[in-house]
Every structure is written in structure tokens, then in C-alpha cells.
Structure 1
Amino acid sequence: MTAGGCVQTEHFDDLIIGSGEGGKYLAWHLARGGSRTAVIERKLIGGSCPNTNCLPSKSEIWSAEVAHLARHAGQYGTTTGTVSVDMARVLARKREMVSGLVAMHLDLFRQSGARLIMGDARFVSPKTVEVALNDGGVATFTGDRVFINVGTHAIIPAIPGLAAAAPMTNIELLELDRLPQHLFVLGGGYVGLEMAQAYRRFGSEVTILESGPHIAGREDADVADEITRSLRDEAITIHSNCKVTGVDGRSGDNVAVQSDLGVIKGSDILVAAGRTPNTNGIGLNLAGVELDGRGYITVNDRLETTAPDTWAIGECAGSEQFTHVSFDDFRIIRDNLAGGSRSKKGRLIPYCMFTDPQLGRVGLSETEAKSLGIAVRVAKLPIAAVPRTRTTSETKGFMKVLVGADDRIVGFAMIGADAGDVMATVQTAMLANIPYQVLREAIFAHPTMTEGLGPLLSRLES
């Protein structure tokens, strides 16, 4: 503050609110180009991906995979003793990874010249934010250009007794140093399914409660059915079309979940029922930034908001909730600031769920093609038909491809080992707009999972 008690204002060429994937890459890019750039971050340096979401969850999923393999080592000719899981060590491994990632991000901020300001930002007028600094005090910052990258947070549904039960989101679950005796998972989307399987493999009893007709609700029914079978094979209980009407008790102790199926008792609750943007209460109306009916920032295809010289990036702008999409948002803004005409319209976005077997999908599903009136030919191949699976005994799942009238691939889904990597091959072919016959005739290394694309695509003509 000044001697008269007024808050000093500091001005930057570019001001970025939030250090998530798109925001941090934009900050580093602009600062390296000579812009005086600042990033205001409330808590998580580098955003949720390296701290609480993507990478931490995959760290624990891999720990669970190791436990699962150790328990089944005898199937591969390796003799082991009793297998137990040390959740304190699982947590320590995850924290070590996160600490390393945060240190890496701090180095990148220093190297780029972008200034990182830790505090809670709120707009007080267009292109002007007031920040309650984490180390005390208040400061005001302005920018010639402003970029909003504030992300989303998990929804706690308005179910009687649920909030009072102090349920976990993925953030709290990934900080456990103990093993839940019986974990309820409210929601059968990507986060819920990944964590359900991981904690079952750690040793918890797990029950998934899904309000929709099937888990993995964005997927075709055959895909969801295959995932359901795989999870049930591991003794995970799945209740679809389940309406939770109330919760008693406290997560971490004893809880009773009331639903149209009756009352089920357990020890812990994980809520994985979707996310909502972090746009409430940060003064966006004072900045001239409009929101849609769900609270997401209204943007055009260039990610420009309704306020001049103000952009939004990532999940808060309604972009698909993936780190790789936020990174592409950065590329759109970067190129357009340089005079380009890049747009988010028509992006080919890949999906990957890190269950075992993995799910990889890109382009249209059968359900989407039908709803859009797009005629497609469909071919499926059991994963067991791919020679690689005979060497690993990972024979669950299938590949499915959708081809349009012009012989171009319009969609692909795979449940199986290395599905994300195989999907990337198909995605590349789709981006290149090549007919499926080119991919069908390609020489893929043997024995790999990608080799299965040849026989899959050959089935279009049988």
C-alpha cells in the first residue's frame, strides 16, 4: 500500500488468471517473446493436472496395477508370497512426483521471465483484478490483455445428508494414507471408474452407484457393457439406474447410502458426479465477461470472451475437460495473437480412460453417428484376435471402427491394452484424411497391438 493507504496498481502487458495447462504455456510463450507477463495462481502451481488430477491419479493407478500384477504373478510363472499394499508409501510416491513437477514448473516460470503471483484474484473492473496475496496483503494488477484460466471443481450433488457426510472428491481420495474398507463411488464416469478399479486393486470393497442407464455414459452401450464386465470380474459392485436419495454418517467412519435399491452401508464416499467452473464470485460481471447458463465463460471459436482484449482458456471456457484440450486452447490463442486464424471448431479430440483394460476413443461413436444421420459402416475385432494379446494374456476388449461413405474413418473405439496408443494411430490417419484402405494395408510391427488395425479394417469388406 501507499502511505495514504491506497492499494498500489501494477501494470502488465499480459495478465493471466490461473496457471493451468493453457495458461502456463501461454505465459511462458508471451514472456519469452518480450511481453511483461504475470500469472496469478490461487494455490496449485501448474494447475490441477500435475497437482491433484491427471498425473497424481495415474500415479496411484499404476501403483494399483503393480499390486494387481503381483497378486496374479503365478499366472505368468513367477512365485510370490503374500501381497499387501502400503498406502502410506503409495501416497509418498505420488507426493514425490508432485513435488518434482511443481519444482519443474517454478524453474520454467523463472526461465521464461513470467512472474508468478500467488493469491486469490477477483475482477474489480475490465482488465483489472484485486488479489488477496497468499503471504498477506492486497494488490491490484491490470493488463493490456487478460486471459482467464480458472478451471473447474468437483460437484457435490444436493443429496440430503451428502455434504454433511464430508465425502471425498478425487483430491481427498488421492491424499489417503489408509485403505477404505468399503468405498462408495457416486458416478460412473472416467474419474469414478478409474478410482474404483484402483482402490479395488489396493484391497477395498468398492460399490459404484450410477444414476444413468450404464456406466461410461458418453460411450456406446457395447463399450459400456465391456467395461462393466471387466470391473465386475474384479468383484466391483455396479448399480446403474440408481437414484441416491440420502446419506447418513460420515465418510471415513461409517456411512449409509439410501437409494431406490435400499440402504447400503460402507466406510467412505467418493463423489465423481461431474464438475462445475470456478467462475462464481470472481467479479466477471465487473469485467464485462458473460457466462452461459451453466456458469461457463461465453467464448467464440477463437476463445475470445464478450469483453475486449479478454480471452478464456480450458475448462472454464467450456472446452472439453482434458489437459490436452487446454494445451490446444493455448495454441489457438498463441497463433491468433500472431495474426493467425486458428479456431476450436471441428477439433478432433481423443478420449482415453486409464482403466484396465484401457479405453481409447476418437471421432464419432455409433450413437453420435446415428443421432446426426451419418451413414457409417462398422467393423469390430475382439482383442483376443490380436497376436500380441496371446503373449501377455490381456485378451479382454475389442476394437471398433466407423467408416463413412467416402471410405474415410469417422470414429474409432478400443478397449484393450495400449488402447490410447493404438487410438493415436487412427487419429493420425483421420487428421490426414486418408481412406481406410491405406491404414489397412500399412505394415505394422509384429507383435504389437496396433497390428490389429489391419484385420479390423479388413472386416469392413467381409
Structure 2
Amino acid sequence: MPHPEEYDVVVLGSGRARFFAWSLASQGKRVAVVERRNLAGSCPTVACAPSKNVIHGAKVANYFRRGAEFGIAAGDWKVVMPAVRDRKRKMVDGIVARNVDAYRESGAELVKGQGRFVGPRTIEVTADDGTRTLRGEVVVICTGSRARIDPIPGLAESRAMTHVEALELDRVPKHLLVLGGGYVGLEMAQALRRFGSRVTVIERNDALAPREDRDVSEALRELFDDEGIEVLTATPVARVEGRSGESVRLLATHGVIEGSDLLVASGRTPNTDGIGLETAGIERDDWGYIKVDERLRTTAAGVWAVGDCAGSPHFTHMADDDVRVVRDNLAGIDRTTTGRLVPFCLFTDPELARVGMSESEAERRGIAYRLAKIPVTAILRSRTLSEPRGFYKTLVAAESDRILGFTAFAPEADAVMTTVQVAISAGLPYTALRDATLTHPTMSEGLAALFHAVPDRS
């Protein structure tokens, strides 16, 4: 092995840890970020931001379809998928350009190529122009995850799309089959339906978004029914035949399901294979995630792991918090991931947002609670938007005024949820929101009505 180049910090993968790298480099540290493909990480280039860009375009298309409802005379219009794709690409190009500037301005070195451990805290990077060996006083692994392709016979051979290929479509699929009724599958199913596809969602569990409360799953099912999306739950797929983009057949428990295109959205798998972890004494669990403690230290001295690859909740905002945990511990501040408040948001229209405990979780853990729930129609803002679908609900501790959890299936649910998240984080009683003066007419104003509906302590 050639004599390695020495760095204060080496980051493997240019996910959210790149911000940490930029910060340290701007302080005079020698920092390198190793990246094989997306120098801004997957979230802003092939996942979160691109999908929300396309989803918003689908919402605009739906407004055109609903024009008469708003007093706008219907006219000739059509969805042009190459333009939808190009709008997304333009956004991504802008994000990448900003990242290139950030590397230059901070002084952090971007090393492009395939990285793998060849020894303790030592990474070999292979690229077209040769090989380099980098050793860090500290190494942070931030390699993320990718769409999982389950070992269903014929699935790999069908050349099914993942979200990456679906976001590059330059055509409207004639009949899209979506394998998986979780967050990614639901978002893409609604978007492609609004662009004009016939869509069928196939979920092996007995409900859409099966980890959510049953009333949430039922509300999503009703939404999809109303938008003309076929939903097949409790439908395991035994075999796949054909090729996506031409003709594809799923052999399932309820018979044969046929379509033109197949999108796989059945989960994620960590990007931890083929990077030499064993060589450096870095252990993985049975699912392939890097083993870390509550401070995100791996089983190898001086090596930390953050984000999806470390088994953290698969959200960019949780990867950001992971980076803060590592940053603080390296600075001598004791901080852990224990007991973190994890916010969730599904970007269907309307959105689903949740923070804290759900009803099913509270019941599973035997935690007593008071429940309040109001329909979206109780909030005047929903009427001004002509968006009557959905609800707010909250769980408050049975013997105190502590907010245990909040769920919104409603327009602007993400922003409303954040207000409750801050209240929970600050330890505020539910009465603080119940008695707050909230701007009228907004969706946040509904929080006062919701918390007024909390039953008194028995």
C-alpha cells in the first residue's frame, strides 16, 4: 500500500456530512470528501428535492384539471413530460453548482472516485485517472442507502424503475404498477396519476402506509380511490414477468396484475457493501447497517457513521442531526441520539405529517392518553383553499398536560406539524397552543381548535 496522504478528517460519501466537512475546512482543518457519483449527495440530486419538484408539477397539473372549480374556464392544455423532467434537472444543476462553490470556498477537497477501506482510518480511492490513499485522524462514513430490489423471481430481470428512473421519465406511462404502498410509492403513484397515467398500487401488508394509524391508512386509501388510483392491499407478489416500459405481469395472490411499467418502492438498503468495512474492523448488523453506539461511533476507533448507512431514520433531517451529534462529540460536548423526536412527512396532496407518538404506538407501549381529533373542515382556511379533506389529531398524556404526539393529514401539514414539534421539544403543555393567539385564517389556527377539544383529565 502506498504511503497515505494525511488528513484531519476524511468523509466517505458526500451526503449531509459534507456540511460538517465544509465547516471544518473553513476553520483551517485539512478535510477530504470522497464521492463516487453525486457530489451533493442523493437527497438533492436523485431523491428528496427532485421528487418534491416533480410532485409540485403534478399538483399544478391537478389545478389545471380542477380549473372550473375556481372559476377558470377550461381550455386546451397537456402534460409535457420532457419539460417536467427538464424543470427538475435545472433545479438539480443549480444545487450541484452551489455545492461546487461551497467546496471551493471552504477549502474542503472533493476526491471523486470509488472509496473503500484498506486499513484503519485509511481509504483507497479509485478513479479513471488513478488511485489515491487517504488516512484521516477522524473518518466519517456517510454513504446513504438505495432502493431495495426484493428477491422476487423475475423482478431484477424486468428492469423495473426505482424512484431514480421514475424521476427521469420523459413520457407518461400508460399503466404504472407501483410495488409498495409506503412513502415513496404513494408520492410517486399520485404524481404519475395526475400526469395522466393509469396507476395500480400493490402493497403486501393489509393497508397503505402500514406503520401509520389505521385512520391515516384509511384516509390515504380514500384519497387514492377518489383520484382513480387502484389499490391492492394484502397482495404479496410471487413472480414478475415481462419488461418494464413494454409490458409487465405480476403474479400475485389475487391473480395476475398487468401493466406497462413497474416502479419498485418497497424499501431501502444501506450502501455498505463493497467498501472494505471488515478490513478496518467496522462491523455491520444483520441488515447491513453499520453498528454504531448512541454517539454514532463505529466498532473501529476514530471512525463514525451517520445517516441511512448507520441505521438512523431514513430522513435527511435525521442525517443532519446525526452530523450534529458527531460534531459535538468531537468537540468534547457529550451528545447522543437517545430519545430524539423524529418528525415524519409524506408529500402526497394533502400532506401527511406526524411527530411524536402515534395512537398505535401508545397502545402498544401501554401509555394512557387523551385523544382529540377535528376534521379539516373545522379550519376556515381549508374552505378558502377548497381543500376539505383530512384531519388533525393529538395525543395528550392522561395524567398531565404533556403533548405526546400529533398527526395532520391536511394542506400545509408539514408547517403545522413543526409548530407542535417545537412545543413538544420545549416541554410546553398543550394549553400553550390551546390558548395561543394564532393568525387567522391559517391552517395553523386549527391547532387552537384541536387542543380545545382535548378531554379534561378524568
Smaller-chain TM-score range?
over 0.9
Letter aligned with residue 310 of structure 1: V
Q: Distance in 1 between matches of 2:163 and 2:199?
A: 15
The two structures, once aligned, show a CA RMSD in angstroms of 1.0
TM-score norm. by structure 1 comes to 0.97
Deviates more, 1:307-316 or 1:333-342: 333-342
**Partner of 2:14 in structure 1?**
19
Structure 1: which amino acid aligns with 2:22?
Answer: W
Contact 1:67 1:83 (8 Å CA) reproduced: no
Distance 1:162 1:82 in 2: 39
1:372 corresponds to which residue? 365
| 2:53 counterpart letter in structure 1 | S
Aligned to 1:430: 424
- Give how far 1:458 is off: 1.1
Distance 1:92 1:264 in 2: 32
Within the candidate set 436, 449, 452, 1:442 is matched to: 436
Aligned residue type for 1:156: I
Instruction: Name the aligned partner's letter for residue 369 of structure 1.
Output: A
Structure 1 residue runs without a partner (length 5+) = 1-5
Q: Which amino acid aligns with 1:20?
A: G
TM-score by length of 2: 0.98
1:76-225 mapped onto 2 (5 Å cutoff)? 76-133=70-127, 135-225=128-218
1:129 and 1:171 map into 2 onto residues whose CA distance is 28
Q: 2:414 aligns with which of 410, 420, 430?
A: 420
**1 CA distance for matches of 2:104 and 2:206?**
49
Residue 37, structure 1, aligned to residue 31, structure 2 = yes
Verify: 1:241 aligned to 2:234, yes or no: yes
Tell me which of 304, 316, 332 is aligned to 2:309. 316
Unaligned runs of 5+ in 2: none
- Report the identity percentage: 51
Query: In the alignment, which of 64, 67, 73 is matched to residue 67 of structure 2?
Result: 73
Letter in 2 for 1:131: V
1:295 and 1:407 map into 2 onto residues whose CA distance is 41
Cα pair 1:7 1:138 within 8 Å, conserved = no
Which of 356, 359, 363 is the matching residue for 1:363? 356
Aligned residue in 2 for 1:411: 405
1:77-96, CA deviations, whole angstroms, 9 ceiling, x for partnerless residues? 01131331000000000000
Check if 1:399 corresponds to 2:392.
Answer: yes
Distance in 2, matches of 1:389 and 1:279, equals 45
User: Would you say the 8 A contact 1:150–1:279 is kept in 2?
Assistant: yes
Q: In the alignment, residue 77 of structure 1 is paired with which amino acid?
A: G
Deviations 1:33-87 (A, max 9, x none): 2210000001001110111000000000011000000110110101131331000
Please give the secondary structure, in 1, of the residue aligned with 2:190: helix
Match of 1:273 in 2: 266
Bigger shift: 72-81 or 188-197? Answer: 72-81
CA-CA distance at 1:7 after TM superposition: 4.2
Give the residue type in structure 1 aligned to 2:163. N
CA distance in 1, matches of 2:190, 2:129: 42
* Cα pair 1:361 1:413 within 8 Å, conserved: yes
The alignment of Structure 1 onto Structure 2 pairs a total of residues equal to 455
Where does residue 283 of structure 2 map in the other structure? 290
The question of whether the paired residues in 1 share the 8 Å contact of 2:371 and 2:455 is answered with no
User: Match of 2:322?
Assistant: 329
- Quote the Cα distance in structure 1 between the aligned partners of 2:76 and 2:199: 21
Deviations 1:107-133 (A, max 9, x none): 011111100000000111111111111
